[in-house]
Structure 1
Amino acid sequence: MVDEEPAAIRLRKLRERSGLSIQAVADKLGHDGRSTYASREDVKKAKGRFIKVEHALSYLPVFVGRGDPPITRDDVMALTGTETLPAVSAPDPMDDDDEGEPRQGYLVLREYDVAGAAGYGAFPNLSPGGEARIVGEWRVPRSMLPARYQGGTIAIVSVQGDSMVPELMPEERVMVDISQTFMGPEGIYLLVFDDSLLVKRLQRVGNGKLRLVSKNPDFEPLIVPASEVRIVGRIIGRWEWK
């Protein structure tokens, strides 16, 4: 549910929660004086329900991690009116001495270098022994994931590029269900199109075609034949290592 309060008020509450003054925020943003940032908390000057995405992105390093409870990325991006994928907090990565095999009640989740695999225009095989290099491993309790994702079909990859900003940031880790190599319900997928590995929202438009949608308004949607899209998996959430 979208908050009905003006964005200026919600921004002020977020700043107050962070414990920072208006001047401190302005300094961290590199503004000369406090007036530019102060105007964004002024309901007479900033009348909308949402703030600009570029403003929210600039606030991330200023606010995230501050306050009680600590301000999250989602708290900041909510000011833009966008909805974000659910996040799972990652445990510490496995040590080199670990065998890489799951203990009873646990899964091993592997992170793959899809940027390297995509450089060949290839459909990346996100499994041990595939062409995508494993760059990290985590042993996690099965209970961390919904039951339908406990079969060991989850791979972790990093988002490349800024076409899904602000929903997904460049280099942000996401979880991919590699068992979903087909077009199911509308959602965000890791896919190959025109020899490029992409993260896009997929929508059916009829006549055997799909719409590839970016969250970033600077990128126009593409309508392409479904036969030209190869789905690597469905993105089910963000993987946050804290």
Structure 2
Amino acid sequence: MTSSSETVSFGYEQVSPEEKTRRVGSVFSSVARKYDIMNDAMSGGMHRLWKDRFVRRLKPRRGEHILDMAGGTGDIAFRIAERGAQVTVSDINPDMLGVGMERAEKRGIHGLIWSEQNAETLTFDDAAFDGYTIAFGIRNVTRIDKALAEAFRVLKPGGRFFCLEFSTTEWPGFKDVYDAYSHHLVPRIGQAIAGDADSYRYLIESIRKFPTMPEFRAMIETAGFRHTRVEPIMGGLVAIHSGWKVS
């Protein structure tokens, strides 16, 4: 028998860590080709503004090497590369990476490094990167604490961690509207556009199971980061979390 201490959440279900990794992989393989179209449909295009803001906060500079984790389709990496930084795009899912490489080729974006990686067990050297980004990916990691520890390990002293993730909006009234929209309409949109309601049902449930903004900030600090900060967007519907490796 598997004890409760050996299970993790997959949406509203509790499953073994191995089962979650496998099922998350299936979700993203299923939605890879329609992932960016669905992001536009679900957010009304606002995800583009959130990502722009995220990269502005990162302030990438020419000569820096940034690791964009769970960055498969390239949305964050393309923005960082425009600022002149070298970007390694990593994702556990080869289908997502394949979509990103195709998009980069079509846009004429060259010089990106593409690497299939598990966020919990990165193969990169210690102190290899000036920055680590992860956008809308940390909640799908099986063991978030291990991913944060790895982020800390691969950053240089003085390096920075930036995470863009859904959270729980604190705006009165809006929370109820968003809950109804996400639980009832998003799976239907997923079925209509991507032919996959179940994957989008999981993605919404994973948002509900993700730690609150203060809880996640505490996890980042536990991993060793200092000068941590949380910047809520739309009352916390989305949040930018950041921290620094000071030594």
Larger Rg: 1
Q: Flag the structure with higher strand content.
A: 1
